[in-house]
C-alpha cells in the first residue's frame, strides 16, 4: 500500500490528540524509497509532529534499500545503512526543536537459515547501525491458503520448527539482540514451541499475533478467534516473548472493510472494533510485556496517524497510569534499549 495514497480521503477524518502530552515510543514503523513511493524520515516526522508526543520510534525491516551485489546473507545490511542516514536526517530536522521524533532503534533482516553467516551478518548490521541496531526480523508468515499471501522474504512451512532457523534465533539472543516475529494466528503454537527452545532470546510478537480476516478466515471468524485465543495463551506463558499491539489498520490482512468507507473510521469506531482482541491480548501478556505500534505507513491504508494513537489511548484507558506508561513507552524503551535523555 503506497504511503501517499488517498490524501483527500484522509483529510475527511481529522482528530486532535486525546492526550497530547503523554510520551510515546512508536514501537514499529517502516521507511522506504521504492517504486516512486517515498516514506522516509521527513514523511515520518510530518506524521508524528502532526499528532501525539512521539519522542522515539523503532524502525523494523521491510526489504528497503538492500545491496544489489555481494554475498546474499549481507545484502540486507544496505537497509540498515539507509535507516542510519534517515536517522541523521531526522536529527537534523529536529535540531533546536522540542517536539521532534528520534529514530531510536533499528530492527533489520538477517536470513536466520544461513548458518555460520548469521554471526557475520549480525556483526555487519551492528557496525552499520552506528549504535542503533537492536534486533532482527525474519518473517515466518506462511499460509497453506492461496488467497492468504506469504511474507516478503518467502518463508516456508513450519520454518520456526527448522533446526537451522532455531539455531539462528538462538544466535540472535546470544549476541544480545532481539527477534521480532511476524506470523499468522495459526502459527502461534509453533512460536510458543520455539520460544521455549530458545529461552535466552527475547522475542517480540508483531501485530497482535496475526488474527487474519481474509481468505477462508473472513467467513470463519469464530474459528479463527478460537485458534488465536488458544495460541496467544500458549505464547503468553513464555516469559521471553513480548507483544506489539498494533497493525490494526491492515485491511489487506485483517479484513475490517474500512478502506471501502467514504471516510476513515473514527478512533471510537476503531476502538469498538478491536477492544475484545486488544484487551484479551494485553491481559494475557501483562502491560509490562506489551508495546503499542503504529505499523506506519502500512496502517495508513485505513487510519490517519492521530486516529491510530487516539484509538490506543481509548483502549488503554482501563489500565492504571503505570500500566499505560509501560505500554506507550517503557516496554519499548527497555526491550530495544533506546537511549533516552
Largest Cα span, the chain? 53
Q: What is the pLDDT of residue 4?
A: 53
Q: What is the pLDDT of residue 139?
A: 98
Q: What is the Cα–Cα distance from 264 to 198, expressed in whole angstroms? A: 41
pTM for the structure as a whole: 0.97
Beta carbons of 21 and 325 less than 8 angstroms apart: no
pLDDT single digits (tens) 57-72: 999 999 999 999 999 9
Q: What is the pLDDT of residue 215?
A: 97
Bridge partners, 24 (sequence order): 54
CATH code reported for the domain at 22-335: 3.20.20.140
Q: Report the interhelical angle of 221-236 vs 188-197 (nearest 10°).
A: 10
Q: What is the pLDDT of residue 95?
A: 83
Lowest mean pLDDT among 50-54, 63-67, 116-120, 179-183: 50-54
Q: Considering only CA atoms, which of 47, 23, 41 is closest in space to residue 98?
A: 23
Amino acid at each position: 500500500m503506497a504511503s501517499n495514497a488517498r490524501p483527500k480521503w484522509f483529510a475527511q477524518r481529522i482528530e486532535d490528540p486525546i492526550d497530547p502530552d503523554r510520551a510515546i515510543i512508536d514501537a514499529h514503523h517502516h521507511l522506504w524509497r521504492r517504486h516512486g513511493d517515498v516514506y522516509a524520515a521527513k514523511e515520518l516526522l510530518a506524521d508524528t509532529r502532526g499528532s501525539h508526543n512521539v519522542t522515539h520510534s523503532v524502525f523494523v525491516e521491510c526489504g528497503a534499500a538492500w545491496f544489489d551485489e555481494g554475498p546474499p546473507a549481507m545484502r540486507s545490511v544496505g537497509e540498515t545503512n539507509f535507516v542510519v542516514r534517515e536517522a541523521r536526517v531526522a536529527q537534523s530536522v529536529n535540531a533546536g526543536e522540542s517536539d521532534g521524533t528520534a529514530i531510536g532503534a533499528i530492527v533489520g533482516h538477517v536470513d536466520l537459515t544461513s548458518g555460520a553467516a548469521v554471526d557475520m551478518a549480525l556483526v555487519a548490521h551492528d557496525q552499520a547501525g552506528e549504535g542503533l541496531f537492536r534486533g532482527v526480523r525474519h518473517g515466518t508468515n506462511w499460509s497453506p491458503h492461496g488467497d492468504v499471501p506469504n511474507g516478503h522474504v518467502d518463508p516456508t512451512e513450519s520454518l520456526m520448527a527448522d533446526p537451522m532457523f532455531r539455531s539462528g534465533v538462538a544466535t540472535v539472543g546470544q549476541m544480545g539482540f532481539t527477534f521480532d516475529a511476524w506470523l499468522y494466528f495459526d502459527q502461534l503454537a509453533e512460536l510458543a514451541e520455539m520460544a521455549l527452545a530458545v529461552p535466552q532470546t527475547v522475542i517480540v510478537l508483531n501485530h497482535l499475533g496475526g488474527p487474519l480476516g481474509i481468505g477462508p478466515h473472513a467467513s470463519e471468524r469464530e474459528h479463527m478467534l478460537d485458534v488465536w485465543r488458544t495460541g496467544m495463551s500458549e505464547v503468553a506463558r513464555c516469559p521471553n516473548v513480548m507483544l506489539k499491539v498494533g497493525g490494526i489498520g491492515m485491511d489487506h490482512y485483517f479484513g475490517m472493510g474500512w478502506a471501502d468507507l467514504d471516510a476513515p473510521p473514527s478512533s471510537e469506531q476503531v476502538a469498538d472494533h478491536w477492544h475484545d482482541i486488544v484487551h484479551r491480548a494485553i491481559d494475557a501478556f501483562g502491560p509490562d510485556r506489551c508495546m503499542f505500534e503504529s505499523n506506519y505507513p502500512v496502517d495508513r491504508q485505513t487510519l490517519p496517524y492521530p486516529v491510530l494513537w487516539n484509538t490506543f489511548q481509548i483502549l488503554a484507558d482501563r489500565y492504571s497510569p503505570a500500566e499505560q506508561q509501560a505500554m506507550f513507552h517503557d516496554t519499548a524503551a527497555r526491550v530495544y534499549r533506546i537511549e533516552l535523555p
